[in-house]
Amino acid sequence: MNAHSNKIALVTGATRGIGTETVRQLAQAGVHTLLAGRSRETAVELALQLQAEGLPVEAIALDVTDAASIAAAVEQVAQRHGRLDILVNNAGILLDDIQQPVSAQSLDVWRRTFETNVFALIGVTQAFLPLLRQSAGARIVNVSSILGSLTLHADPASPIYGFAVPAYNASKSAVNAWTVQLAYELREGPHKVNTVHPGYVKTDMNGGEGEVEVSTGAKSSVQMALIDADGPNGSFTYLGEVLPW
């Protein structure tokens, strides 16, 4: 029997790009994976495609910015499965106007970015924590970005020095900070929370620009989702390599 075949996972923002590929790879590892997206129709369509490949995938409607949608998803998972073993907080947006300087990004962009990338991520995690605590060893994976690294932004020799999408960057720094705080809370038990950089991936978010394929972009999330009891807690990594905060 596959070591992961009794696990239940949920991936947010899973109806495109890295999210869909994360679902695919978790399901290929034997995990029963819930493909979550704002559009139930799109989620069902993708889930059926993956089921046709013989993968254990289930669709679920989840708008991470809508409290009622989150509550309904939690209730559905509770009724169908009674617990959640893996939560991959993958949903995210990038709204910064790269033609504008840092100081000219609108407050509206900042608010909308933090609403999805930070507050929604925390809200989803808080809502699913009771089900995650029912797991023998829950894994929470927060998809961040190397662009959340304050250390690298401050280093003139780093590859991201001067990469100015400030609302997005700061939102990912906040995700990292939340991860560290939650990891501290969970430190004595079997549950673990980590944050990952997927790589500079060719996705819709960056108009297809990027250096690595989507299949590689999902690997860091999947690796952290499947770590054993000796795995890290409160880390920030890319394909197993520790990144600076």
Q: Which residues does the annotation mark as catalytic?
A: 168, 172
DSSP 8-state assignment for residue 157 = T
The CA-atom distances, in angstroms, between 140 and each of 48, 193, 229 are 25, 4, 13
How far apart, in whole angstroms, are the C-alpha atoms of residue 215 and residue 217? 5
User: If you search the block for the tokens 């549950």, which residue do you land on?
Assistant: 191
Residue 186: in which H helix or E strand, if any? none
**Which of 208, 201, 215 has the alpha carbon at shortest distance from 23?**
215
Q: Which amino acid is at 45?
A: E
Residues in the chain: 245
H-only helix segments in 9-66 = 17-28, 40-52
Question: β-pairing, 241-242 with 8-11?
Answer: unpaired
